């Protein structure tokens, strides 16, 4: 199914491959409870990203550009979405396979009505060793001020807020809906007051658009106990018009920061950490957590595929194993089946055990032709707005 916008054919509903296969049992022994699960590169399954909506109230050029996601764009009908109970049931299967962290994404997840109910259901689940799940959420911050306390009360642990600059003109040009910086900052403060921390703030850096906001952002968040993370502009999906000459490498951002402030490298906070961490230091040259930290997510220039432990579930129940995926699996029939309660868990285990994704490593190793990698097959990659960041 496709929708025509300005003479471009944009695949919708199931992006970008049409009907995806329902996973079938693989030959050989099935996974057994308590058995270690890893993919073909010996990577465990620890982190599940769940998209709860394909809608967003921003039109950021690097994710949901307005010329494509306009008033004619057809979003998923509510009937196509997994219910909260179905999401929770699916999450339980992932937990049985080793997942310890769940991140709710979108689109903009706070647009999903009564999201607190889902968070309550997820927070009742326990990891394999009986601990509470690490439940977090990524948001553009537009609705956070009014929802922060309710999210915390429902069981949400932390939030990550997207903010691409402090200058209103720059930020409004990037979100393309005239949304002011002050409202996002208000949401961050509300989240901090509610105890949704430690808070992370993500800034996508696009050369020629907002690199002048790097130092102001670092100055502003220093001393606030917040992790500010700079993300290289990525070649996700097919609609953002990605060009390599618009990527500002993390190494260049770090060099800029060091012209004004002292930073020291920090150890990864956990296995599979996507960000390279640097801490603000005090007058004695030591990092203090209260000062906050800087992170660099360098998936264009410095791949972190080797220890990626993340799976992604779309809002209609499709499983993708990489942010740059060109194929996925439709779990919805198994989610809604009552014939074999373990069929879903076994199917996920079979899919993960065959996983071999390492797109970013391959991209880094490929020569560039003009502004694009020879590896690029953007016409087939799933959209970030559909799969979640």
> Using one digit for the tens of pLDDT, what is the confidence trace for 301-357?
887 788 899 999 999 999 999 887 778 899 999 999 877 878 999 999 999 999 998
Give the tens place of pLDDT for each residue, 142-167.
999 999 999 999 999 999 999 999 99
> In terms of pLDDT, which residue wins out, 31 or 151?
151
How far is it, in rounded angstroms, from Cα 165 to Cα 214?
8
9, pLDDT greater than 80: no
Structure tokens at 240: 């953002």
Nearest to 58 by CA among 129, 161, 167, 148: 161
pLDDT for the residue 115: 98
pLDDT band at 14 (very low <50, low <70, confident <90, very high): very low
How far is it, in rounded angstroms, from Cα 303 to Cα 235?
13
Instruction: Compute the average pLDDT of residues 206-212.
Output: 94
Instruction: Catalogue the E-assigned strands of 46-126.
Output: 47-51, 101-105
pLDDT band at 63 (very low <50, low <70, confident <90, very high): confident
Instruction: Compute the average pLDDT of residues 66-81.
Output: 88
Phi, psi values for residue 280, rounded to 5°: -65, 145
Structure tokens at 65: 């550009």
pLDDT for the residue 12: 28
How far is it, in rounded angstroms, from Cα 313 to Cα 179?
29
Class of domain 2-30+43-387: alpha beta
How far is it, in rounded angstroms, from Cα 327 to Cα 344?
19
How far is it, in rounded angstroms, from Cα 107 to Cα 53?
6
65, pLDDT greater than 60: yes
pLDDT for the residue 171: 93
- Domain coordinates in residue numbering, the chain: 2-30+43-387
> Which residue's entry shows tokens 């373990």?
342
Average pLDDT value for the chain: 85
> In terms of pLDDT, which residue wins out, 129 or 373?
129
pLDDT band at 67 (very low <50, low <70, confident <90, very high): confident
> In terms of pLDDT, which residue wins out, 383 or 110?
110
Nearest to 93 by CA among 158, 29, 45, 139: 45
Q: Which residues, at least 6 apart from 112, have a Cβ–Cβ distance to it below 8 Å?
A: 52, 53, 106, 118
Instruction: Compute the average pLDDT of residues 30-47.
Output: 90
């Amino acid at each position: 199914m496709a929708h025509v916008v300005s003479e471009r054919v944009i695949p919708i509903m199931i992006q970008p491959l049409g009907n995806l296969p329902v996973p079938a049992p693989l030959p050989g022994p099935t996974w057994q409870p308590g058995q270690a699960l890893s993919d073909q590169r010996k990577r465990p399954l620890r982190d599940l990203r769940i998209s709860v909506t394909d809608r967003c109230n921003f039109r950021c050029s690097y994710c949901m550009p307005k010329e494509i996601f306009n008033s004619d764009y057809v979003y998923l009908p509510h009937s196509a979405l997994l219910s909260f109970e179905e999401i929770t049931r699916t999450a339980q299967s992932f937990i049985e396979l080793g997942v310890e962290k769940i991140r709710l994404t979108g689109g903009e997840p706070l647009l999903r009505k009564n999201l607190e109910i889902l968070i309550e259901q997820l927070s009742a689940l326990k990891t394999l060793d009986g601990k509470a799940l690490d439940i977090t959420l990524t948001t553009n911050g537009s609705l956070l001020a009014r929802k922060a306390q309710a999210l915390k009360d429902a069981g949400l642990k932390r939030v990550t807020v997207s903010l691409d600059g402090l200058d209103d003109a720059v930020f409004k040009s990037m979100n393309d809906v005239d949304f002011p910086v002050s409202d996002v900052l208000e949401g961050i403060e509300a989240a901090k007051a509610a105890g949704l921390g430690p808070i992370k703030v993500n800034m996508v850096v696009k050369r020629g658009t907002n690199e002048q906001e790097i130092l102001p952002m670092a100055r502003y968040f220093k001393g606030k106990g917040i992790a500010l993370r700079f993300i290289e502009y990525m070649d996700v999906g097919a609609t953002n018009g990605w060009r390599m000459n618009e990527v500002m490498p993390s190494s260049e951002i770090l060099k800029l920061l060091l012209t004004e402030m002292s930073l020291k490298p920090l150890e990864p906070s956990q296995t599979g950490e996507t960000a390279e961490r640097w801490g603000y230091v005090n007058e004695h040259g030591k990092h203090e957590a209260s000062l906050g930290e800087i992170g660099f997510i360098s998936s264009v220039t410095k791949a972190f595929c080797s220890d990626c432990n993340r799976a992604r579930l779309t809002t209609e129940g499709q499983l993708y194993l990489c942010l740059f995926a060109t194929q996925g699996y439709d779990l919805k029939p198994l989610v809604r089946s009552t014939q074999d309660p373990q069929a879903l868990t076994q199917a996920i285990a079979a899919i993960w055990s065959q996983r071999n994704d390492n797109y970013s490593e391959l991209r880094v190793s490929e020569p560039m032709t003009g502004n694009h990698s020879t590896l690029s097959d953007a016409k087939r990659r799933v959209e970030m707005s559909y799969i979640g960041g």
